[in-house]
Amino acid sequence: MTTWGESHGGAIGAVIDGCPPRLSLSEADIQPDLDRRAPGQSAIVTQRKESDTVKILSGVFEGQTLGTPISLLIPNEDMRPGDYREVQEKYRPSHADYTYDVKYGVRDWRGGGRTSARETAGRVAAAAIARKLLGERWSVTVVAWVSKVGRLAVDCDVEKVTRAEVDQTPIRCPDLAVAEKMIAAVEAARKDGDSLGGIVTCAVRGCPPGWGEPVFDRLEADLAKAVMSLPASKGFEIGSGFAGTDLRGSEHNDEFYVEDKRVRTRTNRSGGVQGGITNGETIYFRVAFKPTATILREQNTVNVRYEDTTIKGRGRHDPCVLPRAVPMVEAMTALVLADHALLHQAVTG
Amino acid sequence: MTTWGESHGGAIGAVIDGCPPRLSLSEADIQPDLDRRAPGQSAIVTQRKESDTVKILSGVFEGQTLGTPISLLIPNEDMRPGDYREVQEKYRPSHADYTYDVKYGVRDWRGGGRTSARETAGRVAAAAIARKLLGERWSVTVVAWVSKVGRLAVDCDVEKVTRAEVDQTPIRCPDLAVAEKMIAAVEAARKDGDSLGGIVTCAVRGCPPGWGEPVFDRLEADLAKAVMSLPASKGFEIGSGFAGTDLRGSEHNDEFYVEDKRVRTRTNRSGGVQGGITNGETIYFRVAFKPTATILREQNTVNVRYEDTTIKGRGRHDPCVLPRAVPMVEAMTALVLADHALLHQAVTG
Amino acid sequence: MTTWGESHGGAIGAVIDGCPPRLSLSEADIQPDLDRRAPGQSAIVTQRKESDTVKILSGVFEGQTLGTPISLLIPNEDMRPGDYREVQEKYRPSHADYTYDVKYGVRDWRGGGRTSARETAGRVAAAAIARKLLGERWSVTVVAWVSKVGRLAVDCDVEKVTRAEVDQTPIRCPDLAVAEKMIAAVEAARKDGDSLGGIVTCAVRGCPPGWGEPVFDRLEADLAKAVMSLPASKGFEIGSGFAGTDLRGSEHNDEFYVEDKRVRTRTNRSGGVQGGITNGETIYFRVAFKPTATILREQNTVNVRYEDTTIKGRGRHDPCVLPRAVPMVEAMTALVLADHALLHQAVTG
Amino acid sequence: MTTWGESHGGAIGAVIDGCPPRLSLSEADIQPDLDRRAPGQSAIVTQRKESDTVKILSGVFEGQTLGTPISLLIPNEDMRPGDYREVQEKYRPSHADYTYDVKYGVRDWRGGGRTSARETAGRVAAAAIARKLLGERWSVTVVAWVSKVGRLAVDCDVEKVTRAEVDQTPIRCPDLAVAEKMIAAVEAARKDGDSLGGIVTCAVRGCPPGWGEPVFDRLEADLAKAVMSLPASKGFEIGSGFAGTDLRGSEHNDEFYVEDKRVRTRTNRSGGVQGGITNGETIYFRVAFKPTATILREQNTVNVRYEDTTIKGRGRHDPCVLPRAVPMVEAMTALVLADHALLHQAVTG
């Protein structure tokens, strides 16, 4: 999978190569995932308006994938580069303006260009295909939700959360009581011109045992890379994660038992993966996202001539990226799993 | 870089392709890193004796790299497959015995075969070359240390810890007071036939700004993948990590300033990377390792015929993988950085 | 570089990742190469009308490449799927209809779908960027021409042929006398409803010594793969090629001498590459293209139900692919060289 | 697959990653192919003595592949670097001495180092595994033979030649009458201190339809790359190849018919591949090898200080590489086909 596109260029898109043939596919399979990622859905996310309408340009014929590259195009619409003139001159703190300039010697300063979270629309669109493949061929489902916003955290059952529960509120936390508090916290941050971070938890259910590779391409390694490539992500932990380091081996190990002729584990601190390979239990992991870097407050910074100055965020922004990070995490997860499903098929037939 | 080898086969090794020519190199550059990873160094790690002597079989001529593939070989020595007969029959909890069997339908049960941490010797050897390249060409240094064992944690200055400080004690924690307690905790766990997990922190200093890629191959994504491919790793966080989700944007952002005509940040919650690309500040991250799965206690499990049974660990084992994880984390970090250094050079000349 | 698109889908395109930043670029740099490949340019090629207008959708800002992926889009225009109804039912001899069906179980029968030479428009567009990079950074030029059509062959000086000479006639053979005969031969074949094959020769001048890799990715290996991936290509030979097998070593070897402090060879049977690496002499090679498979004559074949039947070509077609193969060969050559230039830069700085 | 090793280093070898598990395998499966490639087998090849004994170091357990990387090691034995002292100072015409020096700034001058055909022993060893996989899983056989030496050519039936016929004579041409003349020609060249080139033809039988990829990784493109990566190869043609450019489409097309419910072609000018994908007919192609560059005659050249000088070949050499090229071509072919078999399995299940 390849994505391309800047925040304020003509369009963004993705090319998926290697999708199996004869998967039924149309724009209607992709658009809903894209809509979940899109800005402007509620008061608590950026008001930038993008209809984010995807078009399939190749690889599908008479409603079926051909096995050839699938090209997806999403036109950019609501472009107000005027909002970003100041950014042309100054490096925004904790954004990638400076690092891009120092690396490339050139930068598309309109809306963050390639560094914009808008780039992830291409990933989400592509992943809708991976998700469909996983569901139809292997009955694998991927569901993610917001489990922490600022200091408000919740611990939901990774075996049970449904997408319907997640989408009950714009904050995408399935616990309604906590969700309400989270929404209030985001509103408060927005009024302050400030922002919040948080955590997305993701669960993959129904994955057969045996997917994954033993060493460099362990499933958890590929998952970590995939979600750590999302804008604003700062951490990844699978199964017991960092908290598991408090335990002794005798407390942490997942004992095996047999159920219906299948090998199961009584606990699941492994997070569904052992030695890089799925064991058939639910895969679950958590991804930390920092508070949005754009805030509507004055901050110290430097300009492109390396002089000290100040900058104050303008324009529309997300006071909290978490609700929109949910479909992004699901997308990256589906892409990794679909890749491993095909790789497993290659080697073991 | 490719590694190969099972725990109890004839040898293990690595092949490094793409190393620049004219780097001075001999076994003496590699052996010290390998010795740090080797078992049997102190009472608190596994007593398996492996001299782990590396031999360069190709790619080096008259003390210089040729630009051709470098093949490294480490013979296996202390093989007691008899220790593992029970493993042939039963799946050890939280090991990869079951997942390998279900994936491949065949398994080298001697010492965990390919899943053994012994495989990492090849990576450590290969990474010694990457580390030398980073040091000589770009003055980049990589240093890691144990920052948590069980519930004992320490917060060292990522700008200052040296390898000499790390190696003062066998637990590889640079804070001597805490190190002493950690050693006692590991000893206690060992006496109980139990094990401990913990955290390794790693710092990369001197990295020039501009290394890394913008989207899928962000530097932090590649670092996450690299360390999450190590046996027993359960989590990765860079910069402010999971704790950073408690902060607001106004607290979290790293303000820029100019110092000696260089762009610097006053704080470093970004962890040296912004938008996937280094900003010239110290890169630092933490890696969680679960408690060793092998414990000398009886546990419930199933056998290869899918019948419930019990197993009790035998043989030599590490009650705490952390000290030996230090050179492994350094190794994976050096490999990722060297790759990105060369990639950066490819594109920007 | 990735291309996508079927002959009769909504559009075709290419995504180029890894292009260095700050290369000046606009559609005007790409369109001329695309126009050379386009159908409908003269009486001797297919009359399918495609304006083949390229649009840059990303990766370029204010006339400069950003270092981010460049997405190129070429809308499909002159679609007459009705011309291809018979192809839906029957496998055209020496086309890929049968092999696609047997591989994928589904096929876009409109104009050959992905197998159409139309796919190469994306490659030619992408390669225009590679060509610009090669010219501006290293003064490397790539020029190809038709050296054989049917049984009419010509032997031009690989050191001297210019693009202007090539484009003097629609057949793209720089020898005007032979070109005239070739054009007559193509006309005659067309009147017969038949087709002709031939050979394209390609020369790369100004390439510095040292590009290429020693073993699997030898420059000649990558060139061979690149041109053998073009539709209808059946052979590749570099330097002395097949004819060189007639010679003895003493006749074939290229003796070295020194000229202006540079190492030169008196002859160039090596074709500018020794041991997979350029030696600074002109790289030249030849590519065989079979006669166009589509002919306006009745042929025996089978249908999709595996019954014997006959088919007769209809619609517009190229009686000779050679003139349009010229820009395709140049394109693939430029892409390979640009890749190797960047790879060389990665390793040797 | 990765190979490593210089002609006169400690050893050479290969690592094969991605081999399916549960293939029965031992050194005895590999050694015969290696013996066919080895020097010193007859008067007409180099007298360098190498027993070329392969050892499997990993990836195989109790006679079965594990699915983990297979490491193969072949120690170097008959090292007489003294033979090559002159090469340290002077660039041999049509060898890679100069290009390596200019690329890497360092060179292993002993026996050509990495450029030596000795490197191919690793490929031949690795390919023996690919060949076994192809044979056992899909009943695919690969056989190559010498079809031209100097000006002596033979045209054998690609459907019928067997390995036993090929190995009847040391020249590996299955036509005994021509073989005898070829041997005499090689002897004559050797007496003259000269060398001969020639052509190897290769046939792949039993390949199911559907293997291969449509665009960049067409099967013929990968075959071309694979064999053009062999030392001394100068050309590749598949099916009708260069000679096919003499024909008209009506003469060249392969008409389809049905036989035993299978789609067949009456002729096979396509060479078993259409649109990059196998059609079930025999795949056949030809590879041109130049006359050995090392000759025992004085030639003009330059030294490492860029001064004109002369050089005269010494030591043992192959007056004709063709017999030993036969197993090399088979090896590269088997590797490509096994890769495509697994890739096909990945996508189409």
pLDDT in tens, A35-74: 999 876 776 766 556 678 999 999 999 999 999 999 999 9
Cβ A300 vs Cβ A95: under 8 Å: no
Is residue A38 helix, strand or coil?
A: coil
Compute and round to an integer the Cα radius of gyration of chain B. 21
Is residue C215 helix, strand or coil?
A: coil
Q: Which range has the worst mean pLDDT, B119-123, D141-145, D197-201?
A: B119-123
D117 pLDDT tier (thresholds 50, 70, 90): confident
Smallest CA–CA distance from A284 into chain B, residue: B234
Give the distance from residue A288's alpha carbon to the nearest chain D alpha carbon, in angstroms. 33
Q: What average pLDDT does the structure give for chain A?
A: 93
A16 pLDDT tier (thresholds 50, 70, 90): very high
Contact C228 D249 (CB under 8 A): no
Any chains having at least 3 CB pairs less than 8 A from chain A are: B, C, D
Structure tokens that stand for A126 in this block:
């592509």
Candidates B19, B136, B344, B345: best to mutate against C (most CBs of C within 10 A) is B345
D110 pLDDT tier (thresholds 50, 70, 90): confident
**What angle, 0 to 180 degrees and rounded to 10, lies between the N-to-C axes of helices D322-348 and D219-228?**
150
Which residues of D are less than 8 Å from A68 in CB distance?
214
Q: Residue A315 above 80 pLDDT?
A: no
Asked if C216 reaches chain B (Cβ–Cβ under 8 Å), the answer is: no
Asked if B349 reaches chain C (Cβ–Cβ under 8 Å), the answer is: yes
Question: Which ranges constitute the DSSP H helices of A38-175?
Answer: 85-89, 97-104, 120-138, 163-166
Contact D349 A68 (CB under 8 A): no
Give the predicted TM-score (pTM) of the model. 0.96
Task: Please give the share of chain B, as a percent, with pLDDT higher than 70.
Answer: 95
Cβ C286 vs Cβ D234: under 8 Å: no
Candidates D89, D90, D147, D250: best to mutate against C (most CBs of C within 10 A) is D250
Residue B81 pLDDT: 58
CA-CA distance, A85 to C66, in Å (whole number)? 18
Any chains having at least 3 CB pairs less than 8 A from chain D are: A, B, C
Give the distance from residue A136's alpha carbon to the nearest chain B alpha carbon, in angstroms. 21
Q: Which helix or strand (DSSP H or E) is residue D226 part of?
A: helix D219-228
Contact D6 B58 (CB under 8 A): yes
Give the distance from residue B232's alpha carbon to the nearest chain D alpha carbon, in angstroms. 19
Structure tokens that stand for D22 in this block:
């549960």
Residue D115 pLDDT: 83
Smallest CA–CA distance from C151 into chain D, residue: D246
Asked if B26 reaches chain C (Cβ–Cβ under 8 Å), the answer is: no
Which residues of B are less than 8 Å from D22 in CB distance?
104-106
Residue C50 pLDDT: 61
Cβ B294 vs Cβ B92: under 8 Å: yes
Which residues of C are less than 8 Å from D244 in CB distance?
197, 234, 288, 290-291
CA-CA distance, D324 to D315, in Å (whole number)? 18
Residue C331 pLDDT: 98
- Residue written as tokens 């962890």? B271
- Residue written as tokens 């041991």? C275
The counts of H helices and E strands in chain B are 9, 17
Give the distance from residue D71's alpha carbon to the nearest chain B alpha carbon, in angstroms. 6
- Residue written as tokens 């019954």? C307
Which residues of B are less than 8 Å from A255 in CB distance?
93, 299-301
Contact D346 A348 (CB under 8 A): no
Q: Residue B49 above 90 pLDDT?
A: no
Residue B46 pLDDT: 61
Give the distance from residue A63's alpha carbon to the nearest chain D alpha carbon, in angstroms. 18
Smallest CA–CA distance from A21 into chain D, residue: D348
CA-CA distance, B321 to B232, in Å (whole number)? 8
Burial tier of D176 (Cβ tally within 10 Å: 0-12, 13-18, 19+): exposed
Residue A253 pLDDT: 98
CA-CA distance, A323 to A187, in Å (whole number)? 13
Smallest CA–CA distance from A20 into chain D, residue: D347
Contact D68 B114 (CB under 8 A): yes
D279: left (phi over 0), alpha (psi -120 to 50) or beta: alpha
Structure tokens that stand for D178 in this block:
């021509």
Structure confidence by residue, pLDDT tens digits, A178-218 = 999 999 999 999 999 999 999 999 999 999 999 999 999 99
A11 pLDDT tier (thresholds 50, 70, 90): very high
List the single residue in D210, D221, D224 with the smallest CB-CB distance to C99: D210
First to last CA, chain B: 23
CA-CA distance, B329 to B117, in Å (whole number)? 13
**Mean pLDDT for the stretch of residues A155-179:** 97
Q: What average pLDDT does the structure give for chain D?
A: 93
Structure confidence by residue, pLDDT tens digits, B59-85 = 999 999 999 999 999 998 766 656 678
**Mean pLDDT for the stretch of residues A285-301:** 96
Q: Residue B222 above 60 pLDDT?
A: yes
Q: Which residues, 6 or more positions from C7, have their beta carbon under 8 angstroms from its beta carbon?
A: C76, C108, C110, C111, C112, C113, C114, C116, C118, C119
Size of interface A-D (CB pairs under 8 A): 33
Q: Which range has the worst mean pLDDT, A216-230, B143-157, B311-325, C73-87?
A: C73-87
Candidates B89, B103, B123: best to mutate against A (most CBs of A within 10 A) is B103
CA-CA distance, C199 to C185, in Å (whole number)? 15
Cβ C293 vs Cβ D253: under 8 Å: yes
Cβ A292 vs Cβ A232: under 8 Å: yes
Q: Which residues, 6 or more positions from C28, have their beta carbon under 8 angstroms from its beta carbon?
A: none
Asked if B18 reaches chain D (Cβ–Cβ under 8 Å), the answer is: no
A293 pLDDT tier (thresholds 50, 70, 90): very high
List the single residue in C67, C214, C345 with the smallest CB-CB distance to B345: C345
B50 pLDDT tier (thresholds 50, 70, 90): low
Question: Which ranges constitute the DSSP H helices of B139-248?
Answer: 163-166, 176-191, 219-228
- 10-residue block means of pLDDT along chain C (349 residues)? 87 94 97 89 64 93 95 83 79 95 91 85 96 97 98 98 97 98 97 97 98 95 98 98 98 98 97 97 98 95 96 82 97 98 89
- Residue written as tokens 């400069």? C64
Query: How far apart, in Å, are the Cα atoms of A92 and each of A98, A118, A310, B132, D78?
Result: 8, 17, 9, 35, 64
CA-CA distance, B70 to B67, in Å (whole number)? 8
List the single residue in A57, A68, A114 with the smallest CB-CB distance to C66: A114
- Write out residues 58-77 of D within 8 Å (CB-CB) of B: 58-59, 61, 64-71, 73
Query: How far apart, in Å, are the Cα atoms of B24 and each of C287, C345, D11, D106, D162?
Result: 43, 20, 20, 11, 50
ipTM: 0.96
Residue B82 pLDDT: 63
Structure confidence by residue, pLDDT tens digits, B191-211 = 999 999 999 999 999 999 999
- Residue written as tokens 């996983």? A134
Q: Residue D193 above 90 pLDDT?
A: yes
Residue B80 pLDDT: 62
D300 pLDDT tier (thresholds 50, 70, 90): very high
Residue B79 pLDDT: 62
Q: Residue B268 above 60 pLDDT?
A: yes
**Mean pLDDT for the stretch of residues B104-124:** 88
Asked if D114 reaches chain B (Cβ–Cβ under 8 Å), the answer is: yes
Residue C83 pLDDT: 63
Asked if B289 reaches chain A (Cβ–Cβ under 8 Å), the answer is: yes
List the single residue in C290, C297, C307 with the smallest CB-CB distance to D252: C290
CA-CA distance, C46 to B137, in Å (whole number)? 56
Contact A245 B288 (CB under 8 A): yes
Q: What average pLDDT does the structure give for chain B?
A: 93
Q: Residue D302 above 80 pLDDT?
A: yes
Q: Which domains does chain A have, with CATH numbers?
A: 2-348 (3.60.150.10)
CA-CA distance, D190 to D194, in Å (whole number)? 6
Which residues of A are less than 8 Å from D23 in CB distance?
none
Residue C61 pLDDT: 94
Q: Residue B239 above 80 pLDDT?
A: yes
Q: How many CB atoms lie within 10 A of CB D26?
A: 11
Residue C62 pLDDT: 94
Query: How far apart, in Å, are the Cα atoms of D68 and each of B103, B108, B113?
Result: 11, 10, 10
Q: Which residues, 6 or more positions from A38, have their beta carbon under 8 angstroms from its beta carbon?
A: A50, A51, A52, A121
Contact D346 A343 (CB under 8 A): yes
Asked if D17 reaches chain B (Cβ–Cβ under 8 Å), the answer is: yes
